[in-house]
């Protein structure tokens, strides 16, 4: 059973939504008070409005609140990573600060965790966003991610998710990879569930993301596929390319050799000769890259990763000494 939950909320210029969000969230957490402890970790991702001042006010009023402030805007992935690093609950719940996620869905996520799942992902089945610049790119991205990673979810982009703490503490996030956490976690052999959640139209503030983020997501998807399939064995990826390229070059070279020595044909001016040499050279390069990748993979797995964010300050209460 869940003993304590940590709600992690990235914040970037959401001054009009924070007070209402906290009021709703507090009401839900109060209703769960008899069943489990809770904390709220707000991560101010370099907001340029009064968001941090409002968060400090909330911190002063609610003992469950912790506030992390970045020195600049690092992005949603870095904000979630900071929240994961500083969360203390055995279950971590993530949600957006724009009030489109409904805090009333949190008990449903917790129920999924109590049923034995490691990750419970929200599905905005009736999404209230514009079709062309939000829903359409999301549909395309969800399809691509599901096909390429083999982890089939309807809505990778929904921030409202619940994770067992040991899952998020064993994942390093970069780029736009926060949306791929369920896929990356599948490498750890986790069980994943998806539940429909309420999605509300934005009533205040402006969306910070749109169709321009799709390209970055696709590039990160390529990275995720490589990490899932070849991160511990890069020689099998680059080596395969090298063998194919080198093999084609060898076959072409063998064909030209037969023409020269058995049929007495001139091959010096043929483009095929240059192609054969090029393919063999590329094949050697790919194999070399695979060997270097093996060395880098070993180094990566034997050392600690570099942090992707710098914190300006943290507002939290010190634990009483015993």
Domain of residue 116, CATH code = 3.90.550.10
Asked whether residue 264 falls in the same domain as residue 137, the answer is no
Q: Is residue 277 part of a domain?
A: yes
Do 272 and 252 meet the contact criterion of CB atoms below 8 Å apart?
Answer: yes
Q: Is residue 252 part of a domain?
A: yes
Q: Is residue 305 part of a domain?
A: no
Q: Is residue 55 part of a domain?
A: yes
Q: Is residue 151 part of a domain?
A: yes
Asked whether residue 34 falls in the same domain as residue 175, the answer is yes
Residues spanned by the domain of 295: 234-300
The three-state secondary structure class of 3 is coil
Asked whether residue 123 falls in the same domain as residue 220, the answer is yes
Asked whether residue 274 falls in the same domain as residue 216, the answer is no
Asked whether residue 185 falls in the same domain as residue 292, the answer is no
Tell me what pLDDT residue 4 has: 96
Last residue of a domain, one of 175, 203, 230: 230
> 11: closest CA among 103, 78, 101, 79?
79
Number of domains in the chain: 2
Last residue of a domain, one of 197, 230, 263: 230
Q: What pTM, to 2 d.p., does this model score?
A: 0.75
Q: Is residue 167 part of a domain?
A: yes
Residue stretches of the chain with pLDDT short of 50: none
Give the neighbor-by-neighbor strand order of the sheet with 65-70: 192-196, 119-123, 161-164, 91-94, 4-11, 37-44, 65-70, 311-315
Asked whether residue 200 falls in the same domain as residue 250, the answer is no
Q: Which residues contact 7 (CB under 8 A, 6 or more apart)?
A: 25, 29, 38, 39, 40, 41, 93, 94, 95, 106
Asked whether residue 141 falls in the same domain as residue 255, the answer is no
Asked whether residue 188 falls in the same domain as residue 222, the answer is yes
Give the C-alpha separation, 106 to 257, whole Å: 70
Asked whether residue 195 falls in the same domain as residue 253, the answer is no
Residue with tokens 């990573």: 81
Tell me what pLDDT residue 183 has: 85
**For the segment 59-111, what is each residue's pLDDT rounded down to a tens digit?**
999 999 999 999 999 989 899 999 999 999 999 999 999 999 999 999 999 99
Q: Please name every residue paired with 7 in a beta bridge, in sequence order, or none if there are none.
A: 40, 93
Last residue of a domain, one of 180, 214, 230: 230
Tell me what pLDDT residue 298 has: 67
Q: Is residue 152 part of a domain?
A: yes
Asked whether residue 101 falls in the same domain as residue 209, the answer is yes
Asked whether residue 17 falls in the same domain as residue 84, the answer is yes
Tell me what pLDDT residue 268 has: 81
Asked whether residue 55 falls in the same domain as residue 101, the answer is yes
Q: Is residue 307 part of a domain?
A: no
């Amino acid at each position: 059973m869940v003993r304590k939950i940590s709600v992690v909320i990235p914040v970037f210029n959401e001054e009009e939504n924070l007070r209402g969000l906290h009021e709703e969230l507090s009401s839900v957490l109060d209703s769960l008070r008899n069943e489990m402890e809770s904390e709220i970790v707000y991560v101010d991702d370099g907001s340029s409005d009064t968001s941090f001042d409002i968060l400090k006010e909330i911190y002063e009023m609610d003992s469950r609140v912790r506030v992390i402030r970045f020195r600049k805007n690092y992005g949603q992935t870095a904000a979630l990573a900071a929240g994961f690093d500083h969360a203390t609950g055995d279950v971590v719940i993530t949600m957006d600060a724009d009030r489109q996620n409904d805090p009333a869905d949190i008990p449903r996520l917790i129920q999924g965790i109590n049923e034995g799942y490691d990750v419970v992902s929200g599905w905005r089945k009736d999404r209230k966003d514009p079709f062309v610049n939000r829903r359409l790119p999301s549909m395309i991205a969800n399809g691509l991610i599901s096909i390429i990673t083999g982890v089939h979810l309807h809505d990778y982009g929904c921030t409202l998710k619940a994770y067992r703490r040991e899952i998020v503490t064993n994942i390093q996030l970069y780029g736009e990879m926060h949306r791929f956490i369920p896929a990356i976690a599948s490498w750890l052999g986790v069980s994943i569930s998806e539940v429909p959640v309420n999605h509300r139209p934005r009533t205040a503030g402006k969306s910070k993301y749109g169709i321009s983020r799709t390209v970055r997501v696709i590039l990160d998807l390529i990275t995720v596929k490589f990490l899932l399939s070849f991160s511990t064995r890069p020689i099998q990826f680059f080596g395969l390319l090298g063998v194919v390229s080198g093999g084609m070059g060898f076959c072409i070279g063998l064909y030209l050799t037969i023409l020269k020595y058995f049929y007495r044909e001139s091959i010096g001016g043929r483009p095929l000769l240059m192609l054969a040499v090029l393919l063999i050279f590329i094949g050697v390069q790919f194999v070399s890259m695979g060997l270097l990748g093996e060395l880098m993979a070993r180094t990566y797995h034997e050392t600690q990763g570099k942090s992707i964010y710098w914190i300006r300050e943290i507002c939290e209460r010190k634990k009483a000494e015993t």
